[in-house]
Amino acid sequence: MALAQGLNVDPHILFTAACGREAVSESDRRRNGVDAEWLVEMNQRVLSSAELAGINRKLLDLGADEHRIVLKYLTQMTEKKHKKRGKEGRSHTEKTFT
């Protein structure tokens, strides 16, 4: 949540990028409610990783323009990774979270 707040974006966007889940539209989210269990699990993963915690700390020092740049970069990275997985098959993470 701190990362999303630091980037000033919806936390679902970051969690989607982090685990490769398909994006859920805002209307679907409102209709279906928040997947609280998944959010808790993702937060636990972030909090248990020194690297991810460090990324969060650094992001909080950046401005909104820089947050958008970081988010765009992360999105591009995950899209490339997702395309590569599509050719090689699903990863363990995708099997766990989809």
CA angle 38, 42, 46 (to 5 degrees): 170
| One pLDDT digit (tens) per residue for the chain, 98 residues | 777 788 777 777 777 777 765 655 656 655 566 677 778 887 888 889 999 888 888 988 999 999 999 999 999 998 888 888 776 655 444 444 43
Output the six-digit token pair for 72: 């765009």
Amino acid at 49: S
Render the burial of 40-69: b for 16+ CB within 10 Å, e for the rest: eebeeebeeeeeeeebbeebeeeeeeebee
Of 10, 16, 14, nearest to 97 by C-alpha is 16
